[in-house]
Amino acid sequence: MEKNNIKKQKHSKRETASRIIMCGPITVWTVLFIVLPVALLVFMSFLTKGSLGRIEYRFTLKNYAEIFNPAYLNVLKESVLIAFWTTLVTILLGYPLAMVMSKLRKKTSGIVAIAIMLPLWVSGLIITYSLVIMLNSSGTVNSFLMGLGIIKHPLQLLYNSFAVIVGMVYMFMPFAVLPMYSSIEKLDPAVIEASEDLGASPARTFFKVQLPLTSPGIFAAIILTFIPCIGYYMIADMLGGGKSMLIGNLIYRQFTVSRNWPFGAALSVVLAAIILIMVRIYTSRGGSMDDLA
């Protein structure tokens, strides 16, 4: 008995040691680069801005109260509106594409998935400049429409909310298509066949059967599109021409131009809280975190 106990103790110690060795590096990395920076950001959000951009270690709630300033609420409103329209257009365009991919052969759908992911492999700066060339007054789109005689004068497609939404849709389309494709691919074809055998029309089958069953993928696409849109300030700066101010632009300017780090930290904490709430809603509706990954 004593020998067995000693063997069990040695075995448990080895298991503990192996777990520490396996989990140690990732734990240290998580603490150093995720937990500590977030904790520092939260701590900074309760401090006070001093003269010349210095931080004074005086506790205050003024940074969070300042968010309710009408000027900043308008920025939040515009951010939500642009993110909403971007997400809506991305889902409406991405879901049919995901359906087509699910009906292709594995090899072909893999090639299509790689083509969809190409924007992620190209510098966002290059893509944004390409859109500037396409959308300006003498760009590709206006030249094409004028060449066909559809318009007589160039359309104002650049430096407005429309240009920002176009850029956002192009950038975040892969984040919407892939989770929806994963959800549609897991759908049992027998369920669709059973609905059709019971006399349901294709439209009724789609809205009553397929759409509810693939809703986790749709909600994952919404999260992966809506959240980055609010904080992606580069497209708003370059395609919006400074006319479209998103919360990401506001946070960036607080840390750089205004040198108001505590207020920028408060805005970042609020944005992070919105993200966590949306993820919580997603998981409570039965969504899988694997789809978000």
Residue 37 in any domain: the answer is no
Task: Determine the Cα–Cα distance for residues 66 and 288; give it in Å rounded to an integer.
Answer: 36
CATH code, domain carrying 258: 1.10.3720.10
Here the contacts of 203-212 (C-beta below 8 Å, separation 24 or greater) are 210/184
Instruction: Tell me the per-residue pLDDT of 110-166, one tens digit each, with 9 for 90 and over.
Output: 888 888 888 778 877 888 888 988 998 888 899 988 988 888 888 888 888 899 999
Residue 152 in any domain: the answer is yes
Give me the numbers of helices (H) and strands (E) for the chain, helices first please: 16, 2
Residue 201 in any domain: the answer is yes
Residue 11 in any domain: the answer is no
Task: Determine the Cα–Cα distance for residues 248 and 76; give it in Å rounded to an integer.
Answer: 10
Residue 193 in any domain: the answer is yes
Identify whether the C-beta of residue 139 lies closer than 8 Å to the C-beta of residue 56: no
Residue 26 in any domain: the answer is no
Over residues 5-26, mean pLDDT? 68
- Quote the number of domains for the chain: 1
- φ/ψ of 154, rounded to 5, equals -60, 140
Residue 43 in any domain: the answer is no
**What rounded mean pLDDT belongs to the chain?**
85
Strand partners, 56: 48
- pLDDT at residue 48, rounded to an integer: 92
Closest CA to 253 of 240, 237, 241, 272: 237
Verdict on whether the full-model pTM lies above 0.75: yes
| Parent domain of 206 | 69-292
145-170: string of b/e by CB count within 10 Å (b at 16+)?
eeeeeeeeebeebbbebbbbbbbbbb
Instruction: Tell me the per-residue pLDDT of 169-198, one tens digit each, with 9 for 90 and over.
Output: 998 999 899 899 988 988 888 888 888 888
Task: Determine the Cα–Cα distance for residues 27 and 31; give it in Å rounded to an integer.
Answer: 6
In which residue are the tokens 């300042």 written?
66
